[in-house]
């Protein structure tokens, strides 16, 4: 198992190009199950989650061909029965449920189960499938869905923490081949939902309103193959932008969509970070003493929960008190205890972390617990004096393409080492 050894104290400088979005690629790959015809998806990031999804689709009977960042998938003959262990390992794979149900009127997939950041139930996904006329049985760790007919319907998908991203994607995909019109209320508005709707419409679906809380889907008889380019990864872009500011460096970010990053860039500007647009790219530099800001994570277009841990590190580098409140996942502060090993002063109070910033950080061995926590540990390691060893970086490889290479190109002292 690999770890990352980082020697901190070097400001990041130079240019970085953002990869395709993991959280768009997974539902896009699942959507190819909706047609017998080949689909071509471009700008697919080289990530372990993507490899997992390819294995899952192959286990259902689809042909998957990977050629660099272009993936061709043809789901001509498929079964509705997914590999238990493969699906259980990756939560994102739940989004095969809608396409299988739409195409085959049946689907049997393992329950995704919780993860370290929260219980993460799928009750809203199932509520949506039931609204379309699906019979659902949960038995021996499986969700077993069957439907004689899928009938368009109205469904409200708002939950305890607001809309659900993959729940919206799942119901939207199931409704594409249902009879009649489906209305999703309190739909998630994330750019990844819009990207999926654009791909489905390119396949012949009739979807309108994606990106707004109300999505309308008029069912069609069948869908055809299509080509699509994945949108850039706004969370990866936010991670490099925050790393640039935290290390007091100057980095130009290419290939990102600033219009997808409004809340993050706004909070960084509020803290005093200089963000300069240059054509389709933008440059990030600290530009003097930063000031503390308070963050509350919210559904899109609010501040993304997937950038909370990274922003916490920036606030650790900022003298003064900032309060970071996590409203989406109930236990997404696993990084706090590890960041404290590097000298951070953070107190947890219910859903909030109170960060006393400006403390000098020094390198230490730390353990990654989940994808975004590991990104925060890497940034803290780049800031801290001396060496930091980040263990269990398989979490990082799930969502960041070649992060150590990209950081080295920005002048970081970072290397992958065998874990002893
Ligand atoms: C997506 O997860 C992303 N994953 C997550 O990114 C991201 O954090 C999350 O959306 C929120 O933005 C992928 O796209 C693969 P949700 P998803 O359903 O769709 C509750 C990362 O770091 N909920 O929008 O699974 C749920 O427990 C990952 O890249 C229900 O209660 O998240 C949570 O509190 C982590 N019932 C909230 O809603 C349901 O049926 C939002 O979850 C579904 C969700």
- Integer Cα distance of 349 and 272 in angstroms: 26
- Ligand 1 center–CA 77 separation, angstroms: 30
State the distance from the centre of ligand 1 to the C-alpha of 329, rounded, in angstroms.
8
The CA-based angle 255-381-293, given to 5 degrees, is: 70
- The answer to whether 74 and 36 are in contact (CB under 8 A) is yes
Q: Residues lining ligand 1, CB < 6 A?
A: 23, 26, 91-92, 118, 120-125, 159-161, 164-167, 188, 305-306, 328-329, 371-372, 399
The set of residues, in sequence order, having a beta carbon less than 8 Å from that of 134 and lying 6+ positions away, is: 101, 145, 146, 147, 150, 174
Residue closest via CA to ligand 1's atom 25 equals 166
Q: Which atom of ligand 1 is nearest to the CA of 166?
A: 19
- C-alpha span between 221 and 84 (Å, rounded): 30
Residue 110's closest CA among 141, 67, 78, 137?
Answer: 141
Q: Are 59 and 52 in contact (CB under 8 A)?
A: no
Query: Per the confidence metrics, is the pTM higher than 0.95?
Result: yes
Question: Please, what are the averages of pLDDT over each run of 10 residues along the chain (420 residues)?
Answer: 94 98 98 98 97 95 97 95 80 94 95 83 97 96 94 97 98 98 98 98 98 98 98 98 98 98 98 96 94 98 98 98 97 97 98 97 97 98 98 96 98 91
- 328 vs 306: CA distance, rounded Å: 10
Q: In angstroms, what CA-CA distances link 205 with 102, 126, 163, 168?
A: 12, 22, 22, 15
Q: Which atom of ligand 1 is nearest to the CA of 24?
A: 14
Nearest CA residue ID for atom 14, ligand 1: 23
Q: Of 22, 129, 166, which is best to mutate to test ligand 1, by the most ligand atoms within 8 angstroms of its C-beta?
A: 166
Q: Which atom of ligand 1 is nearest to the CA of 120?
A: 27
What is the DSSP track for 73-94? Answer: EE-SS--SB--HHHHHH-GGGG
User: Do 297 and 264 contact (CB within 8 A), yes or no?
Assistant: no
| d(CA 359, ligand 1 centre) in Å | 33
Q: 164 C-alpha to center of ligand 1: Å?
A: 6
Atom of ligand 1 nearest to the CA of 305: 8
Nearest to 387 by CA among 360, 362, 415: 362
Which among 105, 151, 162 is positioned nearest to 128, based on CA atoms? 151
Nearest CA to ligand 1 atom 9: 165
- Say what the pLDDT of residue 114 is: 65
Q: Are 58 and 64 in contact (CB under 8 A)?
A: yes
Q: How far is the CA of 222 from the centre of ligand 1 (A)?
A: 29
Compute, in degrees rounded to 10, the torsion defined by CA atoms 258, 263, 265, 266.
130
DSSP 154-198: EEE--BTTB--HHHHHHHHHHHTTSBSEEEEES----HHHHHHHH
Q: How many whole angstroms from 189 Cα to the centroid of ligand 1?
A: 13
Ligand 1 pocket test target in 52, 113, 116, 165 with most atoms within 8 Å of CB:
165
Cβ count within 10 A of residue 176: 29
> What strands lie across the sheet with 106-110, from one edge to the other?
106-110, 142-146, 135-139
The 3-state DSSP class for residue 351 equals coil
Q: Which atom of ligand 1 is nearest to the CA of 118?
A: 27
**Position of tokens 């729940």?**
167
Which ligand 1 atom is at minimum distance from the Cα of 370?
22
**pLDDT value of residue 73:** 98
Distance set, CA 11 to CA 6, 14, 387 (Å):
13, 10, 15
Cα separation values, 324 from 17, 193, 238, 328, Å: 29, 26, 17, 12
- Reported residue count of the chain is 420
Ligand 1 atom at shortest distance from the alpha carbon of 190: 12
Q: Between helices 97-104 and 123-131, what is the axis angle to 10°?
A: 20
How far is the centre of ligand 1, averaged over its atoms, from the C-alpha of 297 (Å)?
A: 12
State how far the Cα of 230 lies from the Cα of 20, in Å rounded to an integer.
Answer: 5
Q: Catalytic: 115?
A: yes
Other Cβ atoms within 10 Å of 309 Cβ, number: 31
Q: How far is the CA of 124 from the centre of ligand 1 (A)?
A: 11
Please check whether residue 45 is in contact with residue 69, taking contact to mean a CB–CB distance below 8 angstroms.
Answer: yes
Catalytic pick among 39, 115, 145, 317: 115
Alpha carbon nearest to ligand 1 atom 3, residue: 23
Closest CA to 93 of 14, 188, 29, 7: 29
């Amino acid at each position: 198992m690999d770890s990352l050894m980082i020697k901190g104290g070097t400001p990041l400088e130079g240019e970085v190009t953002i990869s395709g979005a993991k959280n768009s690629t997974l539902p896009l790959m699942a959507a190819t199950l909706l047609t017998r015809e080949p689909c071509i998806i471009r700008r697919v990031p080289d990530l372990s989650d993507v490899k997992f999804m390819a294995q899952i689709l192959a286990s259902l009977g689809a042909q998957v061909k990977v050629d660099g960042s272009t993936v061709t998938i043809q789901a001509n003959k498929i079964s509705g029965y997914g590999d238990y262990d493969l699906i259980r390992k990756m939560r994102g794979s739940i989004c095969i449920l809608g396409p299988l149900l739409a195409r085959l009127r049946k689907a049997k997939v393992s329950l995704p189960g919780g993860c370290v950041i929260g219980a993460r139930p799928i009750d809203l996904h199932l509520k949506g499938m039931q609204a379309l006329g699906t019979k659902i049985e949960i038995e021996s760790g499986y969700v077993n869905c069957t439907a004689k007919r899928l009938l368009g319907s109205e469904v409200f998908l708002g939950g305890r923490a607001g809309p659900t991203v993959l729940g919206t994607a799942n119901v939207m995909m199931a409704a594409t081949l249902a009879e009649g019109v489906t209305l999703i209320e309190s739909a998630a508005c994330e750019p990844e939902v819009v990207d999926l709707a654009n791909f489905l419409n390119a396949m012949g679906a009739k979807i309108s309103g994606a990106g707004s809380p109300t999505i309308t889907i008029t069912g069609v008889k069948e869908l055809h193959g299509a080509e699509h380019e994945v949108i850039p990864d706004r969370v990866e872009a936010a991670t490099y932008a925050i790393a640039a500011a935290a290390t007091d460096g100057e980095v130009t970010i290419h290939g990102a969509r600033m219009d997808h990053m409004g809340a993050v860039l706004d909070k960084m500007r509020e803290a005093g970070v200089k963000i300069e647009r240059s054509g389709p790219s933008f440059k990030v530099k600290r530009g003097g003493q930063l000031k503390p800001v308070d963050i509350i994570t919210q559904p899109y277009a609010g501040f993304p929960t997937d950038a909370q841990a990274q922003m916490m590190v920036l606030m650790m580098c900022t003298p003064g008190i900032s309060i970071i409140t996590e409203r989406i996942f109930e236990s997404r502060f696993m990084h706090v205890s590890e960041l404290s090993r590097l000298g951070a002063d953070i107190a947890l109070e219910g859903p909030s972390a109170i960060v006393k910033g400006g403390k000098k950080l020094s390198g230490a061995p730390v353990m990654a617990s989940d994808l975004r926590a590991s990104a925060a540990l890497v940034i803290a390691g780049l800031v801290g004096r001396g060496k930091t060893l980040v263990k269990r970086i398989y979490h990082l490889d799930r969502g960041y393409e070649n992060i150590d290479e990209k950081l080295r190109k920005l002048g970081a002292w970072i290397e992958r080492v065998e874990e002893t």
